[in-house]
């Protein structure tokens, strides 16, 4: 009998596919930590095919029910042997197909159904991992909707303190060790690109160009940029932490736009099918091509700190 979430893979099948792809293309799978429930956190390392000291990261699945994000990550690995092979000539490539394996497993076991979104979105302790990073500059928490909540059970519960969760702490350690030049963090379902929050004019302009590069590479649905230099807030998200702490160009890529979700189901039969397309293939094709264009552009840039110094702009300008 077909599983309720088909054609998406079970947790075990996802890991088998991930390991097989990394092995197929001459890479190494690292266990960089373990989840709350003891599941391994897996990262694939694909060495550069030409001498390079640069590294890039494509990560997915920080929210348990966003399965399409993991499929895009697997498609990205496949493309590195074909139309994105040039990326491996420029940099060592790392891929994480599932940052939150407990949330993924919970979603699978529940057939994508739950009364509360946090049950499927969060880790095994109910923490939204994409609100669990430190806010740069000790920025105070925001009351904006979706910016993070101190209330357990909320969909954006940020946890008792930054990096309180083994999944975020382990990834932070990996970021520190590998010093990635650029990163793309995959989500669903807004059909947008959300860069790290910055107020510096030069950084903001560079992120505008990075987002345009990503959209230019998408053959079908081109995602617009969602950002503001003045009216954005720090929420404890991964891309903000990567930029401001680890000196890495970082964006969130939201696959499968809201309009496509509504067209698929005016009233979705479960929370899962609000966030994921029945056929992931066209979205994987579209977004993998965009990721290639984004990383090509990013690899032409110096690190954010160097780019800022070269323009000699004052802090916060």
Condensed to tens digits (0 to 9), the pLDDT of residues 266-315 reads: 999 999 999 999 999 999 999 999 999 999 999 999 999 987 766 543 34
Give per-residue pLDDT as tens, 148-178.
899 999 999 999 999 999 999 999 999 999 9
Full residue range of the structural domain in which residue 180 is found: 11-311
Q: Is 285 exposed, middle or buried (0-12, 13-18, 19+ CB in 10 A)?
A: middle
Q: State the virtual CA torsion across 260, 266, 271, 275 in degrees, nearest 10.
A: 0
* CA–CA distance, 175 with 299 (Å, rounded to integer): 17
Q: State the virtual CA torsion across 39, 184, 66, 152 in degrees, nearest 10.
A: 70
pTM reported for the whole predicted model: 0.94
Residue 54 has pLDDT above 90, yes or no: yes
What is the reported pLDDT for 314? 34
* CA–CA distance, 312 with 159 (Å, rounded to integer): 38
* CA–CA distance, 143 with 141 (Å, rounded to integer): 7
Q: How large is the angle between the packed helices 101-109 and 11-24, nearest 10 degrees? A: 130
Question: Distance of CA 93 to CAs 142, 266, 305, Å?
Answer: 34, 39, 22
In a domain, 169, yes or no: yes
In a domain, 16, yes or no: yes
In a domain, 304, yes or no: yes
* CA–CA distance, 128 with 149 (Å, rounded to integer): 9
What is the reported pLDDT for 311? 58
In a domain, 74, yes or no: yes
Q: What is the CATH number of the domain that holds 215?
A: 3.40.630.10
What is the reported pLDDT for 277? 98
* CA–CA distance, 286 with 295 (Å, rounded to integer): 15
Query: How would DSSP label each residue in 224-248?
Result: EE---TTT----S-HHHHHHHHH--
Number of structural domains in the chain: 1
In a domain, 4, yes or no: no
Give per-residue pLDDT as tens, 187-217.
999 999 999 999 899 999 999 999 999 999 9
**What is the average pLDDT across 34-53?**
96
In a domain, 316, yes or no: no
CA angle 25, 69, 230 (to 5 degrees): 120
**What is the average pLDDT across 34-49?**
97
Q: Mean pLDDT in the chain?
A: 94
Other CB atoms within 10 Å distance of the CB of residue 315: 7
Q: By mean pLDDT, which of 90-94, 225-229, 254-258 is the weakest?
A: 225-229
């Amino acid at each position: 009998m077909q599983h309720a979430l088909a054609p998406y893979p079970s947790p075990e099948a996802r890991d088998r596919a991930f390991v097989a792809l990394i092995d197929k293309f001459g890479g190494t799978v690292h266990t960089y930590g373990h989840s709350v429930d003891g599941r391994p956190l897996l990262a694939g390392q694909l060495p550069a095919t030409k001498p390079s000291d640069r590294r890039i990261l494509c990560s997915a699945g920080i929210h348990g029910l966003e399965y399409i994000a993991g499929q895009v990550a697997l498609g990205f690995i496949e493309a590195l042997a074909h139309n994105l092979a040039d990326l491996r000539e420029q940099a060592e490539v790392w891929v994480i197909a599932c940052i939150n394996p407990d949330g993924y497993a919970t979603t699978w076991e529940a057939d994508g159904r739950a009364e509360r979104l946090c049950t499927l979105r969060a880790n095994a302790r109910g923490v939204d991992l994409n609100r669990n990073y430190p806010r740069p500059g000790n920025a105070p928490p925001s009351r904006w909707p979706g910016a993070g909540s101190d209330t357990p059970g909320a969909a954006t519960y940020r946890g008792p303190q930054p990096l309180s969760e083994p999944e975020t702490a382990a990834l932070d350690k990996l970021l520190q060790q590998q010093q990635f030049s650029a990163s793309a963090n995959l989500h669903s379902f807004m059909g947008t690109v959300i860069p790290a929050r910055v107020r510096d004019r030069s950084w903001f302009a560079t992120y505008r160009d990075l987002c345009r590069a990503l959209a230019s590479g998408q053959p079908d649905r081109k995602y617009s940029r969602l950002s503001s230099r003045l009216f954005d807030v720090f929420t404890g998200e991964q891309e903000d932490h990567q930029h401001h702490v680890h000196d890495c160009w970082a964006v969130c890529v939201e696959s499968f736009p809201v309009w496509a979700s509504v067209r698929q189901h005016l009233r979705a039969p479960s929370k899962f099918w609000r966030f994921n397309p029945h056929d992931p293939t066209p979205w994987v094709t579209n977004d993998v091509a965009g990721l290639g264009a984004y990383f090509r552009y990013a690899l032409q840039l110096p690190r954010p700190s160097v780019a800022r110094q070269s323009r000699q702009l004052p802090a916060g300008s």
